[in-house]
Amino acid sequence: MTIIAAADGSALGNPGPAGWAWYVDDSCWQAGGWPHGTNNQGELMAVLDLFRSTAHLPQEDLRILCDSQYVINCITKWMAGWKRKGWRKADGKPVLNVDLLKEIDQAIAGRKYTFEWVKGHAGHDLNEAADERARAVAFAYQQGTAAPVGPGFPGAAQKVPAGGAVPDAAAGAGGAATVAATRTAAPAAAARTAAPARLHAEPALFGESGLFGQADLFSELDDEIVSSGEVPAEDIVLGLERELLRPDVRADIGRRGVLLHPDFAEIGSSGRYWTRDAMLMALEEDPGEAIEVELLSADRLSENSMLLNYRSRSRAGASLRSSLWLLDRGQWRLRFHQGTPES
């Protein structure tokens, strides 16, 4: 018998409230999370917990559906080499998320498994179910509400392993006790500063202040992913857009100057037309805050152009957005963006 499961992670703010989940069917799934974590940590934890939850069935093949090439490459391509080098990369730098990777290395010993990459937010039933549950946990941590943790895997040991899901009781408004989303032992790397608060309501970049609540491609992926040439252009462009929406990048005039095309323009959700110079100046004052993004499509219009369409959600509401990226002398750069509030 082959066990087929999807594993996914989510983070609001990156780092920020984070969730993970794996899903087989409605009667067999599990989820958890942390008050602060990254999307990649959530993706890794989902895989780790799936191996732990099926440890009582070592003879069964495990087929893991995953939309993170970072996770797949870490486990199937790079982990053995990192382990031989003392958990360091080819350039001698420490491997990111090493604690989770070491636990995965132990959990997969003697197991029969394969990974299959699936495109995220593309209507794949199992992937969508895992994503929905991971995001629900992240939102529960953000809002201090309860989130379901799932029934788990039939026959799995009831004992919670180190780093596994445990209930978290938190005091609610007015002193009432509420049970928040389940949590796992938060990775040390996740204890970082939250995104700065919004300074004014007028949109700064992409029609509103904010950034993607997902891990950016280049800070969370190791160097091998970029140098291997195996990453689809769609993933590279999406990673760059996520990078551009990080507060630290938006506050770095040098980096955002590289990411914005010389002819960049935007029509914001307020109807305002932004030039590149006006946008660079606005970002000096307001780097924005975290929002959640749902990717709708990433379309390669030509060899040198890419169109992203997505839905953003924040406290101000939801918006539909489009970004046009151009390949300019070997560098993908944002040429145009437009956002429209969703009624």
Look at residues 319, 297, 290 and name the one whose alpha carbon lies nearest to residue 139. Answer: 290
Q: Is residue 86 predicted with pLDDT exceeding 60?
A: yes
Gap between the Cα atoms of 335 and 328, Å rounded: 10
Residue 310 to residue 324: CA distance in whole angstroms? 12
Q: How far apart are CA 256 and CA 94, in angstroms?
A: 27
The percentage of the chain sitting over the pLDDT mark of 90, rounded to a whole number, equals 39
Q: For residues 304 and 337, what is the distance between their CA atoms, to the nearest angstrom?
A: 17
Q: Which of 8, 103, 216, 289 is catalytic?
A: 8
Tell me what pLDDT residue 254 has: 73
Of the residues 49, 67, 289, 292, which is catalytic? 67
User: What was the pLDDT predicted at 158?
Assistant: 52
Active site residue 86: no
> Is pLDDT of 47 > 50?
yes
CATH tag for 217-341 (out of 3.40.50.720, 3.40.50.300, 3.10.450.50, 3.20.20.60): 3.10.450.50
Catalytic residue among 13, 33, 43, 213: 43
The answer to whether 8 is a known catalytic residue is yes
CB 317 within 8 A of CB 324: no
223 part of the active site = no
What is the residue-wise DSSP string for 1-68?
A: -EEEEEEEEEESSSSEEEEEEEEEETTEEEEEEEEEE-HHHHHHHHHHHHHHHTTT-TTSEEEEEES-
Query: In whole angstroms, how far apart are CA 153 and each of 103, 134, 339?
Result: 19, 17, 42
Q: Is the pLDDT of residue 269 over 80?
A: no
Altogether, the residues listed in the chain come to a count of: 343
> Is the confidence at residue 222, as pLDDT, over 80?
no
Residue with tokens 């070592």: 58
26 is catalytic: no
Q: Where are the domains of the chain?
A: 2-183, 217-341
Q: Is the pLDDT of residue 111 over 70?
A: yes
Give the predicted TM-score (pTM) of the model.
0.54
Q: What is the pLDDT of residue 45?
A: 96
List b or e across 27-41, with b for residues whose CB sees 16 or more CB atoms inside 10 angstroms. Answer: ebbbbbbbbbbbbbb
Q: Which of 121, 128, 152, 172 is catalytic?
A: 121
Query: Is 131 labeled as catalytic in the residue annotation?
Result: yes
Q: How far is CA 339 from the centre of its chain?
A: 22
Cβ within 8 Å of residue 110, ≥6 positions away: 58
Q: What top-level class would CATH report for the domain 2-183?
A: alpha beta
Q: pLDDT tens, 172-206?
A: 222 222 223 333 444 433 332 222 222 222 333 54
What value does the mean pLDDT take over residues 146-160? 79
Considering 103, 131, 243, 289, which one is annotated as catalytic? 131
Asked if pLDDT for residue 216 goes beyond 50, the answer is no
Question: What are the beta bridge partners of residue 267?
Answer: 273, 338
- To the query of whether residue 286 is one of the catalytic residues in this protein, the response is no
pLDDT value of position 46? 97
Mapping DSSP to helix (H, G, I), strand (E, B) and coil, where does residue 168 land?
Answer: strand
